[in-house]
């Protein structure tokens, strides 16, 4: 059996304009994910939180690397910071090629603090928290996962 991994990261969104523009871009990203991720057998979730993207992607190592390379080159964000990259027993988002976890005004993670920290424990903790936060948000947002406002 091939091993599953999950990768969680936070990045700084570079989307000029208001929250409506953000909604449109997030919608486009989800559409691309729903188009491409099934081929790579990748599942995951995406949250926009106070100017940052928080995303979890899960799948085989090779496939994750292929997709993550593309995502990192996307001009709609930069400062991509990986918080979590670990083997995974069972997928947390098995029902979604890319679940929508929401768009919110306030950033819920202290990304500056995580980056400034010298040891990697805060990042590890934030990575775990990010995964469980997205799981909780996605179950709240289930009905919106396929039809964004």
Ligand X SMILES: Cc1cc2nc3c(=O)[nH]c(=O)nc-3n(C[C@H](O)[C@H](O)[C@H](O)COP(=O)(O)O)c2cc1C
20: Cα separation from own chain's centroid: 20
Long-range Cβ pairs for the range 119-126 (8 Å, 24+): 123/81, 123/83, 123/84, 124/83, 124/84, 126/10, 126/83
Spatial strand order of the sheet with 77-88 comes to 77-88, 4-13, 52-60, 43-49, 99-104
CB of 8 vs ligand X, minimal distance in Å: 12
Among 32, 61, 107, 148, binds ligand X (CB under 6 A): 32
How many residues touch ligand X under the rule CB under 6 A: the total is 18
DSSP-assigned states of every residue in 84-104: EEEEESS-SSTT-SSEEEEEE
Please identify, using beta-carbon distances, which residue of 96 and 114 lies nearer to ligand X. 96
CB of 109 vs ligand X, minimal distance in Å: 15
Burial 105-123 (b: 16+ CB within 10 A, else e): eeeebebeebeeeeeeebb
Among 5, 53, 96, 109, binds ligand X (CB under 6 A): 53
Among 8, 22, 45, 71, binds ligand X (CB under 6 A): 71
Considering only residues 88-147, where is the footprint of ligand X by CB under 6 A? Answer: 98
Please identify, using beta-carbon distances, which residue of 76 and 117 lies nearer to ligand X. 76
Please identify, using beta-carbon distances, which residue of 46 and 114 lies nearer to ligand X. 46
Cβ–Cβ under 8 Å, residues 47 and 77: no
10 lies in the site for ligand X, by CB under 6 A: no
CB of 31 vs ligand X, minimal distance in Å: 9
Interface with ligand X (CB under 6 A): 11, 29, 32-33, 35-37, 46, 53, 55, 57, 67, 70-71, 74, 76-77, 98
């Amino acid at each position: 059996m091939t091993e599953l991994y999950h990768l969680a990261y936070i990045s700084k969104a570079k989307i000029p304009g208001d929250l409506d523009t953000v909604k449109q871009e997030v919608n486009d990203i989800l559409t691309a994910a729903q188009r491409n991720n099934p081929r790579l057998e990748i599942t995951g979730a995406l949250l926009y939180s106070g100017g940052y993207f928080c995303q979890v992607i899960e799948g085989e190592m090779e496939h994750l690397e292929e997709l993550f390379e593309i995502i990192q080159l996307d001009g709609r964000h930069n400062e991509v910071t990986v918080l979590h990259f670990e083997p995974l027993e069972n997928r947390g988002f098995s029902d979604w090629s890319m679940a929508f976890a929401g768009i919110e005004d306030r950033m819920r993670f202290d990304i500056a603090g995580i980056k400034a920290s010298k040891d990697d424990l805060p990042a590890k903790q934030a990575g775990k928290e990010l995964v469980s936060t997205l799981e909780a948000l996605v179950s709240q947002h289930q009905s919106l996962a396929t039809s964004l406002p």
